[in-house]
Structure 1
Amino acid sequence: MPLKYLSHYAPELQHQVKHMMAERSIGAYIQAKYPQAHTIQTDKALYQFVNEYRKTHLKNAPLLNKVQYDNTLNLTHRALGLNTAISRVQGGKLVAAKEIRIASVFKSAPADFLKMIVVHELAHLKERNHDKAFYKLCTHMLPEYHQLEFDLRVYLTGLEMRADKEGVAQ
């Protein structure tokens, strides 16, 4: 199985993940490293969580009109979160409604992974591209961002491996 979520990482890291795949130990690795689950199961709770993070780390960022879990975002589409601005005319003015959608897979993911994807989507409020400034902002909000992103990719590899084994498309 190719490591599509980890293809740009060093060969040594890919080898370690392939070893975990062969031993079927990805789940144990993730559980041991990230045992903390979260209780953010509703769109309302997610909205509050994201806005608190925004207020703490991005005080000048625009207000979010909507934050919700999205069942249509999944591993097949390789989109785990979306940040959109929907423009509408209100009273002769053009108003952009900012929305963040988080893949529903994060309802059952470890709490740190939800935090990482929230930070990623919030960073897009200031930086649209995945460039140096974007990742600098991510690590400002969440210093362990890069390790969490790597481990999230390992987690997604494990989910995909499990889905392939069960014959279920994610």
Structure 2
Amino acid sequence: MTKLKYISSYSTEVQNQVELMLANNSLGKYLLSKYPKSHDVVNDKALRVFVMRLKNQHLKKAAPLSKVQFDDKIHVINNALGLHSVVSRVQGNKLKRKNEIRIATVFKSAPEEFLEMIVVHELAHLKEKEHNKAFYQLCQHMLPSYHQIELDLRLYLTQIDNIGQIYT
């Protein structure tokens, strides 16, 4: 069932529905009906503005971000949509920590809701390092429809892998 790798943890019922949609070539139509157009965040500078707007809205007191960028080295295949990393460097006799957020470039041509879900996920890691109950509560606080958008994003990745891109 490699064609459903992004939704393998969902119920058999959901997987069967998606298989039927793939067979009928209706998954893309479903996604386009919910998310008719892609966002206009096309470069790293615009991504930083997008991320900082969300951070300032929800996590003003969280650690600052030193780098925000699209990264073509992130492979969605390895189950990463984005990465939050803390880079530690020794400068003189001090240890400097820098937070970075990187988003897979496949999301340069995706609906804004998908980009927002990934950014919310990565921002939540500024407060909660593990994927635990507190982490997902924080994600839902920042984006109430977080879980539905995550499912739809996984459907989008399934669409890309099996049929092809629907946004340009």
Q: How does the TM-score come out when normalised to structure 2?
A: 0.93
Say whether residues 1:123 and 2:135 are aligned partners: no
- State the partner residue of 1:159: 160
- State the partner residue of 2:30: 29
C-alpha displacement at 1:91, in angstroms? Answer: 4.0
**CA distance in structure 2 between the partners assigned to 1:46 and 1:151 by the alignment:** 21
After superposition, residues 1-170 of structure 1 pair within 5 angstroms as: 1-2=1-2, 3-162=4-163
Code of the residue aligned with 1:122 in structure 2: it is L
- State the partner residue of 1:167: none
The range that moved more, 138-147 or 15-24, is 15-24
**CA distance in structure 1 between the partners assigned to 2:124 and 2:76 by the alignment:** 21
Q: Cα deviations across residues 46-75 of structure 1 (Å, max 9, x unaligned)?
A: 011101100100111111000000001123
Identity score, percent: 56
| Residue aligned with 2:46, SS | helix
**CA distance in structure 2 between the partners assigned to 1:157 and 1:17 by the alignment:** 9
Code of the residue aligned with 2:143 in structure 1: it is L
The range that moved more, 71-80 or 143-152, is 71-80
**CA distance in structure 2 between the partners assigned to 1:36 and 1:57 by the alignment:** 25
Aligned residues: 163
Code of the residue aligned with 1:7 in structure 2: it is S
Q: Cα deviations across residues 8-40 of structure 1 (Å, max 9, x unaligned)?
A: 111111111111011111111111101132110
Unaligned runs of 5+ in 2: none
Q: Cα deviations across residues 51-103 of structure 1 (Å, max 9, x unaligned)?
A: 11001001111110000000011233221100001111234211101100000
The range that moved more, 99-108 or 76-85, is 76-85
**CA distance in structure 1 between the partners assigned to 2:82 and 2:37 by the alignment:** 21
